[in-house]
Structure 1
Protein backbone atom coordinates (compact mmCIF):
# COMPACT_ATOMS: atom_id res chain seq x y z
CA UNK A 1 0.00 0.00 0.00
CA UNK A 2 1.29 3.44 -0.88
CA UNK A 3 2.40 5.58 2.07
CA UNK A 4 0.04 8.40 1.06
CA UNK A 5 -3.01 6.12 1.13
CA UNK A 6 -1.96 4.66 4.47
CA UNK A 7 -1.44 8.12 5.95
CA UNK A 8 -4.86 9.18 4.64
CA UNK A 9 -6.50 6.22 6.39
CA UNK A 10 -4.70 6.97 9.65
CA UNK A 11 -5.65 10.66 9.59
CA UNK A 12 -9.23 9.76 8.65
CA UNK A 13 -9.41 7.26 11.50
CA UNK A 14 -8.29 9.84 14.05
CA UNK A 15 -10.69 12.43 12.65
CA UNK A 16 -13.56 9.96 13.05
CA UNK A 17 -12.46 9.28 16.65
CA UNK A 18 -12.38 13.00 17.41
CA UNK A 19 -15.83 13.45 15.86
CA UNK A 20 -17.28 10.57 17.89
CA UNK A 21 -15.77 11.89 21.12
CA UNK A 22 -17.12 15.37 20.43
CA UNK A 23 -20.61 14.05 19.61
CA UNK A 24 -20.78 11.84 22.70
CA UNK A 25 -19.47 14.47 25.10
CA UNK A 26 -21.74 17.34 24.03
CA UNK A 27 -24.50 16.50 26.51
CA UNK A 28 -22.29 15.21 29.31
CA UNK A 29 -22.56 17.62 32.22
CA UNK A 30 -20.09 15.86 34.52
CA UNK A 31 -17.73 12.88 34.72
CA UNK A 32 -20.42 10.54 36.03
CA UNK A 33 -22.54 11.24 32.96
CA UNK A 34 -19.62 10.77 30.60
CA UNK A 35 -18.00 7.67 32.11
CA UNK A 36 -20.97 5.65 33.39
CA UNK A 37 -23.97 7.25 31.60
CA UNK A 38 -25.61 7.98 34.96
CA UNK A 39 -25.72 4.18 35.45
CA UNK A 40 -28.53 3.83 32.91
CA UNK A 41 -26.74 1.69 30.31
CA UNK A 42 -28.19 -1.62 29.19
CA UNK A 43 -26.22 -4.68 30.28
CA UNK A 44 -25.57 -5.87 26.73
CA UNK A 45 -24.09 -2.50 25.74
CA UNK A 46 -21.71 -2.70 28.69
CA UNK A 47 -20.81 -6.28 27.72
CA UNK A 48 -20.07 -5.28 24.11
CA UNK A 49 -17.97 -2.40 25.42
CA UNK A 50 -15.95 -4.72 27.64
CA UNK A 51 -15.29 -7.12 24.79
CA UNK A 52 -14.48 -4.29 22.41
CA UNK A 53 -12.01 -2.90 24.93
CA UNK A 54 -10.29 -6.27 25.26
CA UNK A 55 -9.86 -6.51 21.49
CA UNK A 56 -7.71 -4.16 19.48
CA UNK A 57 -6.53 -3.50 15.98
CA UNK A 58 -3.47 -5.62 16.70
CA UNK A 59 -5.78 -8.58 17.38
CA UNK A 60 -7.38 -8.30 13.97
CA UNK A 61 -4.07 -7.87 12.19
CA UNK A 62 -1.72 -10.26 13.98
CA UNK A 63 -3.96 -13.13 15.09
CA UNK A 64 -4.85 -14.43 11.61
CA UNK A 65 -1.15 -14.43 10.71
CA UNK A 66 -0.19 -16.17 13.95
CA UNK A 67 -2.90 -18.82 13.66
CA UNK A 68 -2.07 -19.48 10.01
CA UNK A 69 1.68 -19.68 10.57
CA UNK A 70 3.28 -23.13 10.24
CA UNK A 71 5.01 -22.79 13.64
CA UNK A 72 2.74 -25.33 15.33
CA UNK A 73 1.41 -23.10 18.12
CA UNK A 74 -1.97 -22.30 16.59
CA UNK A 75 -3.82 -23.20 19.79
CA UNK A 76 -1.89 -20.67 21.90
CA UNK A 77 -4.38 -17.96 20.89
CA UNK A 78 -7.30 -20.28 21.67
CA UNK A 79 -5.89 -20.65 25.18
CA UNK A 80 -5.82 -16.84 25.41
CA UNK A 81 -9.48 -16.68 24.33
CA UNK A 82 -10.47 -19.21 27.00
CA UNK A 83 -8.58 -17.15 29.58
CA UNK A 84 -10.50 -14.05 28.48
CA UNK A 85 -13.79 -15.90 28.94
CA UNK A 86 -12.82 -16.91 32.48
CA UNK A 87 -11.67 -13.35 33.18
CA UNK A 88 -14.96 -11.85 31.95
CA UNK A 89 -16.92 -14.24 34.16
CA UNK A 90 -14.83 -13.27 37.20
CA UNK A 91 -15.26 -9.58 36.44
CA UNK A 92 -19.01 -9.99 36.03
CA UNK A 93 -19.46 -11.97 39.25
CA UNK A 94 -16.86 -10.35 41.54
CA UNK A 95 -15.88 -6.86 40.43
CA UNK A 96 -19.05 -5.46 38.86
CA UNK A 97 -21.26 -6.09 41.93
CA UNK A 98 -18.54 -4.47 44.06
CA UNK A 99 -18.36 -1.46 41.73
CA UNK A 100 -22.14 -1.00 41.82
CA UNK A 101 -22.35 -1.37 45.59
CA UNK A 102 -19.55 1.18 46.20
CA UNK A 103 -20.57 3.46 43.27
CA UNK A 104 -17.13 3.14 41.64
CA UNK A 105 -16.18 3.69 38.02
CA UNK A 106 -12.82 1.90 37.79
CA UNK A 107 -10.36 -0.32 39.58
CA UNK A 108 -8.33 2.80 40.37
CA UNK A 109 -11.17 4.36 42.35
CA UNK A 110 -11.49 1.07 44.26
CA UNK A 111 -7.76 1.13 45.03
CA UNK A 112 -8.13 4.68 46.34
CA UNK A 113 -11.12 3.68 48.49
CA UNK A 114 -9.51 0.53 49.88
CA UNK A 115 -5.84 1.47 50.14
CA UNK A 116 -5.64 5.26 50.14
CA UNK A 117 -4.57 8.14 47.96
CA UNK A 118 -0.91 7.15 47.60
CA UNK A 119 -1.78 3.66 46.36
CA UNK A 120 -4.17 5.24 43.86
CA UNK A 121 -1.45 7.56 42.57
CA UNK A 122 1.03 4.69 42.36
CA UNK A 123 -1.41 2.55 40.38
Structure 2
Protein backbone atom coordinates (compact mmCIF):
# COMPACT_ATOMS: atom_id res chain seq x y z
CA UNK A 1 0.00 0.00 0.00
CA UNK A 2 1.40 3.39 -1.02
CA UNK A 3 1.78 6.34 1.40
CA UNK A 4 -0.90 8.25 -0.53
CA UNK A 5 -3.35 5.36 -0.12
CA UNK A 6 -2.69 5.24 3.62
CA UNK A 7 -3.08 9.03 3.83
CA UNK A 8 -6.43 8.89 2.00
CA UNK A 9 -7.69 6.24 4.43
CA UNK A 10 -6.56 8.29 7.45
CA UNK A 11 -8.11 11.51 6.11
CA UNK A 12 -11.39 9.72 5.35
CA UNK A 13 -11.45 8.22 8.83
CA UNK A 14 -10.86 11.57 10.53
CA UNK A 15 -13.46 13.33 8.37
CA UNK A 16 -16.04 10.75 9.47
CA UNK A 17 -14.79 11.01 13.07
CA UNK A 18 -15.10 14.80 13.07
CA UNK A 19 -18.57 14.54 11.53
CA UNK A 20 -19.72 12.14 14.23
CA UNK A 21 -18.21 14.39 16.90
CA UNK A 22 -19.98 17.45 15.48
CA UNK A 23 -23.37 15.73 15.33
CA UNK A 24 -23.06 14.22 18.81
CA UNK A 25 -21.71 17.42 20.35
CA UNK A 26 -24.47 19.79 19.25
CA UNK A 27 -26.31 21.66 22.01
CA UNK A 28 -24.29 20.03 24.77
CA UNK A 29 -24.51 21.64 28.21
CA UNK A 30 -22.24 20.98 31.21
CA UNK A 31 -24.17 17.85 32.20
CA UNK A 32 -23.86 16.51 28.67
CA UNK A 33 -20.16 17.36 28.50
CA UNK A 34 -19.18 15.61 31.74
CA UNK A 35 -21.72 12.79 32.20
CA UNK A 36 -23.65 12.63 28.91
CA UNK A 37 -26.81 13.88 30.68
CA UNK A 38 -26.91 10.40 32.29
CA UNK A 39 -29.02 9.28 29.33
CA UNK A 40 -26.47 7.35 27.29
CA UNK A 41 -27.50 3.93 26.00
CA UNK A 42 -25.65 1.36 28.10
CA UNK A 43 -24.72 -1.04 25.29
CA UNK A 44 -23.34 1.84 23.19
CA UNK A 45 -21.24 2.92 26.18
CA UNK A 46 -20.01 -0.66 26.67
CA UNK A 47 -19.11 -0.92 22.98
CA UNK A 48 -17.32 2.45 23.10
CA UNK A 49 -15.28 1.36 26.13
CA UNK A 50 -13.53 -1.24 23.99
CA UNK A 51 -12.08 1.45 21.75
CA UNK A 52 -11.39 3.66 24.74
CA UNK A 53 -9.39 1.02 26.62
CA UNK A 54 -7.53 -0.45 23.65
CA UNK A 55 -5.07 1.87 21.95
CA UNK A 56 -2.57 1.65 19.15
CA UNK A 57 -0.06 0.40 21.72
CA UNK A 58 -2.16 -2.70 22.29
CA UNK A 59 -2.78 -3.24 18.59
CA UNK A 60 0.86 -2.89 17.58
CA UNK A 61 2.79 -4.18 20.60
CA UNK A 62 0.80 -7.20 21.85
CA UNK A 63 1.71 -9.41 18.83
CA UNK A 64 5.35 -8.61 19.59
CA UNK A 65 4.80 -9.42 23.26
CA UNK A 66 3.48 -12.85 22.23
CA UNK A 67 6.68 -13.49 20.30
CA UNK A 68 8.71 -12.64 23.41
CA UNK A 69 6.53 -13.82 26.29
CA UNK A 70 4.01 -16.21 24.75
CA UNK A 71 0.35 -15.62 25.74
CA UNK A 72 1.25 -14.42 29.24
CA UNK A 73 -0.31 -11.02 28.46
CA UNK A 74 -3.71 -12.72 28.44
CA UNK A 75 -3.37 -13.20 32.21
CA UNK A 76 -3.65 -9.43 32.60
CA UNK A 77 -6.64 -9.38 30.26
CA UNK A 78 -8.40 -11.88 32.54
CA UNK A 79 -7.65 -9.49 35.40
CA UNK A 80 -9.27 -6.69 33.39
CA UNK A 81 -12.42 -8.79 33.09
CA UNK A 82 -12.56 -9.34 36.85
CA UNK A 83 -11.97 -5.63 37.44
CA UNK A 84 -14.75 -4.62 35.04
CA UNK A 85 -17.17 -6.92 36.88
CA UNK A 86 -16.33 -5.20 40.18
CA UNK A 87 -16.77 -1.78 38.57
CA UNK A 88 -20.12 -2.73 37.03
CA UNK A 89 -21.68 -4.26 40.13
CA UNK A 90 -19.99 -2.32 42.96
CA UNK A 91 -18.71 1.09 41.87
CA UNK A 92 -21.24 2.13 39.22
CA UNK A 93 -24.31 1.54 41.46
CA UNK A 94 -22.50 3.39 44.27
CA UNK A 95 -21.75 6.37 42.03
CA UNK A 96 -25.35 6.54 40.85
CA UNK A 97 -26.74 6.41 44.37
CA UNK A 98 -24.41 9.22 45.47
CA UNK A 99 -24.85 11.17 42.22
CA UNK A 100 -21.09 11.28 41.62
CA UNK A 101 -19.24 12.10 38.42
CA UNK A 102 -15.91 10.43 39.28
CA UNK A 103 -14.22 8.25 41.86
CA UNK A 104 -12.35 11.32 43.11
CA UNK A 105 -15.58 12.86 44.38
CA UNK A 106 -16.08 9.68 46.39
CA UNK A 107 -12.55 9.97 47.79
CA UNK A 108 -13.31 13.53 48.86
CA UNK A 109 -16.61 12.60 50.50
CA UNK A 110 -15.16 9.52 52.19
CA UNK A 111 -11.61 10.57 53.14
CA UNK A 112 -11.35 14.33 52.63
CA UNK A 113 -9.89 16.83 50.21
CA UNK A 114 -6.30 15.53 50.58
CA UNK A 115 -7.28 12.09 49.29
CA UNK A 116 -9.21 13.72 46.47
CA UNK A 117 -6.22 15.79 45.35
CA UNK A 118 -3.74 12.94 45.78
CA UNK A 119 -5.83 10.46 43.81
CA UNK A 120 -6.58 12.96 41.06
CA UNK A 121 -2.92 13.97 40.90
CA UNK A 122 -1.63 10.41 40.51
CA UNK A 123 -4.32 9.70 37.91
CA UNK A 124 -3.37 12.82 35.96
CA UNK A 125 0.33 11.94 35.98
CA UNK A 126 -0.27 8.31 34.98
CA UNK A 127 -2.59 9.31 32.15
CA UNK A 128 -0.18 11.95 30.88
CA UNK A 129 2.66 9.41 30.79
CA UNK A 130 0.48 6.76 29.17
CA UNK A 131 -0.92 9.20 26.61
CA UNK A 132 2.60 10.35 25.73
CA UNK A 133 3.69 6.76 25.01
CA UNK A 134 0.57 6.03 22.97
CA UNK A 135 0.92 9.26 21.02
CA UNK A 136 4.58 8.53 20.30
CA UNK A 137 3.79 5.05 18.99
CA UNK A 138 0.94 6.30 16.78
CA UNK A 139 3.10 9.12 15.42
CA UNK A 140 6.01 6.72 14.87
CA UNK A 141 3.75 4.42 12.85
CA UNK A 142 2.38 7.33 10.81
CA UNK A 143 5.92 8.60 10.24
CA UNK A 144 7.02 5.25 8.82
CA UNK A 145 3.93 4.77 6.64
CA UNK A 146 3.10 8.31 5.50
CA UNK A 147 5.19 11.26 6.63
CA UNK A 148 8.72 9.93 6.02
CA UNK A 149 7.98 8.64 2.48
CA UNK A 150 6.49 12.07 1.68
CA UNK A 151 9.53 13.86 3.12
CA UNK A 152 7.61 15.48 6.00
CA UNK A 153 9.24 16.04 9.43
CA UNK A 154 8.25 14.19 12.60
CA UNK A 155 7.29 17.39 14.43
CA UNK A 156 4.65 18.14 11.78
CA UNK A 157 3.34 14.62 12.27
CA UNK A 158 2.92 15.22 16.02
CA UNK A 159 1.26 18.62 15.56
CA UNK A 160 -1.25 17.29 13.02
CA UNK A 161 -2.11 14.24 15.15
CA UNK A 162 -2.59 16.23 18.38
CA UNK A 163 -4.69 18.83 16.55
CA UNK A 164 -6.99 16.21 15.04
CA UNK A 165 -7.50 14.52 18.42
CA UNK A 166 -8.26 17.89 20.02
CA UNK A 167 -10.76 18.81 17.30
CA UNK A 168 -12.99 15.80 17.84
CA UNK A 169 -12.90 15.93 21.65
CA UNK A 170 -13.00 19.58 22.75
CA UNK A 171 -16.65 20.35 21.99
CA UNK A 172 -18.90 17.48 22.93
CA UNK A 173 -17.18 16.01 25.98
CA UNK A 174 -18.34 12.58 27.14
CA UNK A 175 -21.49 12.68 25.03
CA UNK A 176 -19.39 13.11 21.90
CA UNK A 177 -16.67 10.66 22.99
CA UNK A 178 -19.17 7.85 23.39
CA UNK A 179 -19.98 7.96 19.68
CA UNK A 180 -16.46 8.66 18.43
CA UNK A 181 -15.10 5.81 20.56
CA UNK A 182 -17.86 3.57 19.20
CA UNK A 183 -16.64 4.40 15.70
CA UNK A 184 -13.05 3.66 16.74
CA UNK A 185 -14.16 0.34 18.25
CA UNK A 186 -15.93 -0.61 15.03
CA UNK A 187 -12.88 0.26 12.92
CA UNK A 188 -10.61 -1.60 15.34
CA UNK A 189 -12.68 -4.79 15.20
CA UNK A 190 -12.98 -4.63 11.40
CA UNK A 191 -9.22 -4.09 11.04
CA UNK A 192 -8.47 -7.06 13.31
CA UNK A 193 -10.79 -9.29 11.27
CA UNK A 194 -9.25 -8.10 7.99
CA UNK A 195 -5.69 -8.57 9.28
CA UNK A 196 -6.50 -12.07 10.54
CA UNK A 197 -8.10 -13.04 7.22
CA UNK A 198 -5.16 -11.60 5.27
CA UNK A 199 -2.58 -13.46 7.38
CA UNK A 200 -4.54 -16.73 7.17
CA UNK A 201 -4.88 -16.35 3.40
CA UNK A 202 -1.19 -15.54 2.97
CA UNK A 203 -0.28 -18.66 4.99
CA UNK A 204 -2.89 -20.74 3.11
CA UNK A 205 -4.70 -21.66 6.31
CA UNK A 206 -8.40 -22.17 6.93
CA UNK A 207 -9.93 -20.95 10.18
CA UNK A 208 -9.63 -24.44 11.65
CA UNK A 209 -6.07 -24.77 10.41
CA UNK A 210 -5.18 -21.41 11.88
CA UNK A 211 -6.58 -22.35 15.29
CA UNK A 212 -4.73 -25.68 15.17
CA UNK A 213 -1.47 -23.93 14.32
CA UNK A 214 -1.91 -21.52 17.23
CA UNK A 215 -2.73 -24.22 19.79
CA UNK A 216 0.19 -26.39 18.68
CA UNK A 217 2.65 -23.50 18.76
CA UNK A 218 5.04 -23.17 21.70
CA UNK A 219 3.99 -19.51 21.87
CA UNK A 220 0.43 -20.38 22.89
CA UNK A 221 1.34 -21.09 26.50
CA UNK A 222 -0.69 -18.94 28.89
CA UNK A 223 0.30 -19.78 32.48
CA UNK A 224 3.82 -20.18 33.89
CA UNK A 225 3.66 -21.79 37.33
CA UNK A 226 6.84 -23.86 37.09
CA UNK A 227 9.31 -21.04 37.81
CA UNK A 228 8.48 -18.43 40.43
CA UNK A 229 11.37 -16.25 39.20
CA UNK A 230 9.98 -16.10 35.67
CA UNK A 231 8.57 -12.61 34.98
CA UNK A 232 5.63 -14.33 33.27
CA UNK A 233 4.75 -16.23 36.49
| TM-score scaled by length of structure 2 | 0.42
Post-superposition offset of 1:36? 1.7
Q: 1:79 aligns to what?
A: 75
Cα gap change, 1:119 to 1:16, in 2 (>3 Å): farther
Q: How many residues align?
A: 115
Residue correspondence of structure 1 range 17-32 to structure 2 within 5 A: 24-30=24-30, 32=31
What are structure 2's unaligned runs of at least 5 residues?
A: 120-233
CA RMSD of aligned residues (A): 2.7
Cα gap change, 1:33 to 1:60, in 2 (>3 Å): same
Counterparts of 1:63 and 1:97 in 2: how far apart (Å)?
A: 33
Counterparts of 1:110 and 1:85 in 2: how far apart (Å)?
A: 23
| TM-score scaled by length of structure 1 | 0.73
Cα gap change, 1:21 to 1:118, in 2 (>3 Å): farther
Post-superposition offset of 1:52? 2.5
Deviations 1:54-113 (A, max 9, x none): 21110001011222x1x3x21211111111111111111111110111111211121122
Residue correspondence of structure 1 range 1-123 to structure 2 within 5 A: 24-30=24-30, 32-67=31-66, 69=67, 71=68, 73-123=69-119
Q: Which runs of 4+ in 1 moved over 3 A?
A: 11-26
Post-superposition offset of 1:15? 8.3
Instruction: Compare relative contact order (CA 8 Å, sep 6+) and give the higher one, 1 or 2.
Output: 2
Larger Rg: 2
